[in-house]
Structure 1
Amino acid sequence: MPRIVYIHHNCFVLEAGERTLLFDYPAPAYLPEAAARICASHLAGRQLTVFASHSHDDHFDPEIVAATSGAAARQFVVSDDVADLYGDALPPGRITMEPEDRVDLDGLTVTALESNDMGLAYLLEMDGLTVYYGGDMALWDWPGNSPAANRAVGMTWRRQLGRLEGKRLDVAYSNTDPRLPESLCGAPELLDRVRPRVFVPMHLGGHVHYLDTFAPRLTRPGTTLFRYAKTGDILDI
């Protein structure tokens, strides 16, 4: 049975059969030591694919090769900005992607989608499971932005939703930053339009208590909300 493990912020492990996926493992300044240890325990001896959506420190650790050394085998899928900035720290066999790139990795099909922040979002298909991982693609409608900037952000966000609409999404990871309490980064809109089987809120900076506040706005019939409370919490899909 596939399962999702919460690590910290936007970092999650997805275990699916023989395959383990790791998303957006952050630099040490954004990752408590206890969370790093729990993450390592879920990677030990596994066939691992590491995804980096972009190069912000809260999403990518330049020492990612050392951090994942306990895995039995590894492949790395990174956005082009990660490869540009940290190419020397990554192994030669890494997969570098740009928007609209598509690659098949031994039965794991990865499609790179646009972001309205740095880097990419990912759409993954494997063993009958379809997963959307948004990275920092979100409705970043900051109050300090100009109306024109917020319109542009919203247009890109809704274009992404239009692309996902109608797909059978088993899991959708998307941001619900508590600094944007009105829009929740567009998460309620994603739930209404895309209707994933499982929704995984992200970008809480470890402040998971906000999920108690946000849960009523993130609850939909037919969608399971991963309401994690601490690092290492697991949701079986």
Structure 2
Amino acid sequence: MKIYPIYHSGFMVELEHHILLFDYYMKDLPIIQSDKPLYVFVSHKHQDHYNPEVFEKTKDFKNRTFILANEIKQTPIHVIHMHHDETIHVDDMTISTLLSTDSGVAFIVEVEDKVIYHAGDLHLWLWEDDSEKEAKMMRGSFMAEMKKIKDRHFDLAFLVLDPRQGDELACEGLEIFNEWTDTSVIFPMHFSSDPARMEELLLKVKNSENIVNTERVKEYEF
């Protein structure tokens, strides 16, 4: 696989026979000269994860399929919509979803004997000013989704690491995912407003041997 970080939570993944694009928001797409089919995933309708320009941006790909969270209703072309806790088969891929703790879904894509996870906004969204009740509800919602994938293997995962949460809270969701799953490579995301702080947070993450510093790679292959 080749992984191309784009911006924020946007990534392109190139495999031997497929190209996957997740949560395109802004900036240029990687230039890939290929007749491989493109599969575009959008986890939810927030503007930092879904930019309708993605339809125009990907028009040069001859074979495109769009898999969008069900909450995205109006699109210029036909798309496949997915609810949470759903599994579908698209061509030779199996695609499953989890329920986001914010909006939309997280994607699990099984393709070419690989398993790829993109969290979207499924994350442990704890904030310093949360009430005890709010924090308890968030933890319960997040852990309910993590139990669905406990002990599962992922070759590649894209996970939230948001500096806005502060040092004490930002890393916990990523750490729980990493502890509860068998994941080969993790790319942090959702830090577009403060990449320098993201790098500082990476130094605080426990058991970070399998985590790639997203800001320091334009292309990553394994």
Same-fold status (TM-score > 0.5)? yes
The share of aligned pairs that are identical, in percent, is 24
Letter in 2 for 1:224: N
Question: Paired residue for 1:169?
Answer: 154
Q: Does 2:90 correspond to 1:105?
A: yes
Where does structure 1 lack aligned partners over 5 or more consecutive residues? none
Query: Contact (CA 8 Å) 2:4, 2:30: kept in 1 or not?
Result: no
Q: 1:196 to 1:143 in 2, by over 3 A?
A: same
Give the CA deviation at 1:218. Answer: 3.4
RMSD: 1.9
SS in 1 for 2:71: helix
Give CA deviations for 1:165-184 in whole Å, capped at 9, x if unaligned. 11111111110000112122
In structure 2, C-alpha distance between the alignment counterparts of 1:77 and 1:106, rounded to whole Å? 12
Pairing partner for 1:42 from 17, 24, 32: 32
Structure showing greater relative contact order (alpha-carbon pairs closer than 8 Å, 6 or more residues apart):
1
Structure with greater helix percent: 1
Give CA deviations for 1:124-173 in whole Å, capped at 9, x if unaligned. 11111011110001010122332212211111111122122111111111
Count of aligned pairs: 220
SS in 1 for 2:164: coil
Q: Does 2:19 correspond to 1:20?
A: yes
Pairing partner for 1:139 from 124, 134, 137: 124
Give TM-score scaled by structure 2 length.
0.91
Where does structure 2 lack aligned partners over 5 or more consecutive residues? none
Q: 1:219 to 1:226 in 2, by over 3 A?
A: farther
In structure 2, C-alpha distance between the alignment counterparts of 1:66 and 1:54, rounded to whole Å? 19
Query: Contact (CA 8 Å) 2:39, 2:67: kept in 1 or not?
Result: yes
In structure 1, C-alpha distance between the alignment counterparts of 2:20 and 2:212, rounded to whole Å? 17
Give the CA deviation at 1:108. Answer: 0.9
In structure 2, C-alpha distance between the alignment counterparts of 1:49 and 1:157, rounded to whole Å? 27
Query: Contact (CA 8 Å) 1:175, 1:202: kept in 2 or not?
Result: yes
In structure 2, C-alpha distance between the alignment counterparts of 1:103 and 1:43, rounded to whole Å? 29
Give TM-score scaled by structure 1 length.
0.86
